[in-house]
Amino acid sequence: MAILVDKSTRVIVQGITGKEGSFHTQRMLEYGTNIVAGVTPYKGGQTFLGVPIFNTVQEAICSVGQVDATVIFVPAKSAPSSILEACLAGIKLIIVITEGIPQHDMLKVHYYLRKYGCMMIGPNCPGIATAGQTKIGIIPNNVLEPGVVGLVSRSGTISYEILKLLKDSGLGQTTVVGLGGDPLIGLRFKHVLSMFLEDDQTKAVVMVGEIGGSDEEEAAEVVKKLVQKNKPVISFIVGRNAPEGKRMGHAGAIIMGKSGKPDYKIQKLKEAGAIVVDTITSIPQTILQEFSRLNLGA
C-alpha cells in the first residue's frame, strides 16, 4: 500500500521545459514516474523525452485523458496562476516545488483549493515519493528504497540524509512527503500522519519538524493514535538552538512567544508518545529497538 501516490498515478509537469523542470522530469522518468504530459505556454506541440507538451493544462487533459497529479516548476510570479489553472482543471493533487511565492497570492490559492476540493503539497517543497513506485518532485532517486517507514518532513535536505540512513539500515520507506518550508503550505503534519495511521504497510513514522509555527503541536493528537496502534513515531526538530525572534532558514521558521519554541514542541510530542531524538543518525536504531520492544518485524 501507499498514501496519495503509486505507480499508476498519472502526472503532468507544469514548467517542463525550464531548467529545473526538464532536469527533474528526466530524473522522475528514470525512477518510473508515469508522466503523461508537460505544460509550457507557447511550447505546445513539442515533446521532451517522449512526453508531449501542451500550452495549457486543459489542453493536456483533453488530449491525454485522466490526470491524477501535477508538479509545478514555474517561477514564483507565475506559480499562483499555475496552481489555479490545475485546480480549475480538476486535478486533485498539486505538488508545488516553487519557492518564494508571495503570501498574499497564496491566500487566494488556498481559497480555490478549498472551493474545488484540491490537495496541495508545498510550496517550497521537495515533493512526494512512494518508494519503488513513483517520485513526483526533486527527492533524489538513490535514497529511496521500498520498506516500512513513512517519512513526513518540513526540511528537504535533512530528510534526504534520513532516507539514506533508513535505506542503509534495511528499513526502507513506504511514502515520503516533503511538506514545504513556507508559512502558507497545503498538507500539514496532522493530515499526512492521519494517512500513515490508516496505511497497513507503514509500521513506523519519522517526523522531521522545525522551529516556528504550531504544526507539530497540532499533530500531537494523531501522534498519540499512531503510538496507540503500535506504530512508533520518531521525531527530530530542526533548529533547536535558534534564538527567539530570529528568522532561521525557512520562511515559517520563526519563534514568537511560547508557540514555535523547540522545547514546547518536544514536550507536546513526548506527551503524545513520540520519541524525540537529538541526532538523525540515531533514527534507524531507535526504530529497530521499538520494533523489538513491540515484537514487530521490519
Are domains 11-121 and 140-293 of this chain identical in fold?
Answer: yes
CA-to-CA dists, residue 43 to 56, 146, 182, 228, angstroms = 10, 36, 30, 52
The answer to whether the predicted template modeling score (pTM) of the entire model surpasses 0.85 is yes
3 state DSSP class of 211: coil
What is the CATH code for 11-121?
A: 3.40.50.720
Regions in the chain scoring below 50 on pLDDT: 251, 255-256
Q: Is 140-293 a CATH 3.40.50.261 domain?
A: yes
Backbone angles phi, psi at 13, to 5 degrees: -120, 115
Q: Would you state the pLDDT for residue 262?
A: 79
- Which residue, 133, 223, 128, is CA-closest to 180? 128
Q: Is 175 in contact with 162 (CB distance < 8 Å)?
A: no
Residue-level length of the chain: 298
Question: Using one digit for the tens of pLDDT, what is the confidence trace for 268-288?
Answer: 999 999 999 999 999 999 999
∠ CA 68-139-278, rounded to 5°: 125
Q: Which residue has the cell 536504531?
A: 285
Question: Using one digit for the tens of pLDDT, what is the confidence trace for 97-126?
Answer: 999 999 999 999 999 999 999 999 999 999
Residues involved in catalysis: 250
Q: Where are the domains of the chain?
A: 11-121, 140-293
Cα–Cα distance between 266 and 159 in angstroms, integer?
18
Provide CB contacts within 8 A for 145, sequence distance 6+: 131, 132, 166, 167, 172, 173
Q: Would you state the pLDDT for residue 90?
A: 96
Backbone angles phi, psi at 285, to 5 degrees: -65, -35
Characterize 106-116 residue by residue with b for buried, 16 or more Cβ atoms within 10 angstroms of its Cβ, and e for exposed. Answer: beebeeebeee
